[in-house]
Structure 1
Amino acid sequence: MDSHSPYPPITATQAIFQAEILEVYQVLKELTPATLGKLMDISPRLADVSWQYHQAIELPFTVENARPAIYTYHGDVYEGLDVSSLSQEEVLRLQGSLRILSGLYGLLRPLDLIAPYRLEMGIKLAVGGQANLYDFWRKKITQALNNELEEGETLVNLASEEYFKAVDTQALKAKVLHVAFKSWRGDTLKTIVLYTKRARGLMARYIAQHQITKVEDLKGFHLGGYQYAEDLSSENEMVFVNG
């Protein structure tokens, strides 16, 4: 995670699940580096860094002790998104349309303030009388999405399977459209995790830059050399192929 790079002046927002964040954090901060390492299957060095992240968190968040999520998260998806090269208008479009799933914060808008942490959604951490984070967050996240969605709208899923399991799709007002990215390797189409992660960020970027509001217009996505594959797609899944 990026806790130091400068970001443009922009109005930050607060995550919607303040009480729930505190509840998860109170459990997380008590975990020792050794416990974190075992729970998350990470090296002692990463476990120690994660522990330091958690001890440094100060609630409530302000612009003095936290940063907007979209300028804090780092990794393949966010390399594809490349937020630093987006205009403020494009970032504000993302604020209105992009939602980020998080093990600690539940559901975030891009400009919601967060502090660095390590907590994957799939980790079996018991919180609030629930056996894991899925059980703790699923109903809350689903309701929050429904509060923003209109009946008959489409929710474009660019999340990994691990994270999207935190959404109860049967209870959503909206239709869910899954997006898959595949690459040719010889004469075989394969899903390559690294490429897929970057492509998810690229598609979020494309949606913001082109002001996409209709599913049909997603077919024009071409960043990263991808093209829409109509023969591989279905009513509930769009497939894009490169290579």
Structure 2
Amino acid sequence: MIIIISPAKNINEDISFDAKQLSNTRFENQTNELLSRAKKLSVKDLMSMMKISENLGQLNYQRYQQMEVPFSNFKLLPALKAFNGAVFQSINVGGFTDEDWKFANDKLRILSGFYGLLRPFDGILPYRLEMGTKLDIGKHKNLYQFWDMKINNLLQNDIDTNGDNVLINLASNEYFKAVKGKELNARIITPTFKEYKDGKYKMIAIYAKMARGMMSNFIIKNKLSNPEEIKLFDTEGYSYNDQLSEGDNWVFTR
């Protein structure tokens, strides 16, 4: 069982970790190609393309200008600890044991516009490049075309290595689109999370992000191997809703 999640826009550089545990990212050539393209962008280009403020435009311009290959010459950060958003805060790696980290490193994957597909201990540099960004790279009109089947093929390898042919999709639609799920040889289970409000169940983005992180934590802390056990997820009042679920689209409500 492999779990996929989306990255966060923010990255926390003030973290403690054992550098000996870091692993190399698996798409270094592609990341270097993206870096070469990003270095040609001005602050205004970044502001317009990413819809960010001038301060964030300056920050990311400086990040890209300072990056050089090999990335190992820089202070790399473990991906799962570095990303800092609602999903990752709810995964709560601060409460992980060594066994939790090992399980997460085997089972959890983070999709990335810049790095492709990350494992928890893969060393990354601070960046901002969302998968939906309309950036042309050579003959490719956007990042979906650039990554094409590369992410899919590596993810398939991870699924095959894991052995049970199951993918738990806890990524956003923007990122899952890069996976090309119909081409995967796997059972894809997609949990969604809804709140009861004004007489009906509806998805509220911030709560859905938090729930994706909480479910990731639930799977990791309980070392789940049977996907049916995910239906026991009950963190923060959520429960599996059989009536709203259909096939492998599992709905959890509260």
Is 1:71–2:81 an aligned residue pair? yes
Q: CA RMSD in A?
A: 1.6
Distance 1:125 1:46 in 2: 17
State which drifts further: 9-18 or 70-79.
9-18
1:205 corresponding residue in structure 2:
217
How far is the alpha carbon of 1:9 from its aligned partner?
A: 6.2
Among the aligned pairs, what percent are the same residue? 36
Is 1:109–2:154 an aligned residue pair? no
TM-score normalised by structure 1 residue count: 0.95
Is 1:190–2:202 an aligned residue pair? yes
1:99 corresponding residue in structure 2:
109
Residue 47 of structure 1, aligned match among 50, 57, 79: 57
Residue 214 of structure 1, aligned match among 209, 226, 230: 226
What number of residue pairs does the alignment pair up? 242
2:175 corresponding residue in structure 1:
163
Is 1:14–2:21 an aligned residue pair? no
Distance 2:234 2:31 in 1: 37
Distance 1:103 1:37 in 2: 17
* Matching residue's letter, 1:6: S
Taking CA–CA contacts closer than 8 Å with sequence separation of 6 or more, which of the two structures ends up with the larger relative contact order? Answer: 2
* Matching residue's letter, 1:153: N
Kindly indicate whether the alpha-carbon contact (under 8 Å) linking 1:69 and 1:111 is maintained by their aligned counterparts in 2.
yes
TM-score normalised by structure 2 residue count: 0.91
Q: Which runs of 5+ in 2 are unaligned?
A: 1-10
Q: Following superposition, which runs of at least 4 residues in structure 1 exceed 6 angstroms of deviation? A: none
Deviation string for 1:151-197 (max 9, x for gaps)? 86111100000000001112101011111000111312110000011
How far is the alpha carbon of 1:59 from its aligned partner?
A: 2.8
How far is the alpha carbon of 1:112 from its aligned partner?
A: 0.4
Residue 56 of structure 1, aligned match among 48, 63, 66: 66
* Matching residue's letter, 1:167: V
Is 1:4–2:19 an aligned residue pair? no
Residue 140 of structure 1, aligned match among 146, 150, 153: 150
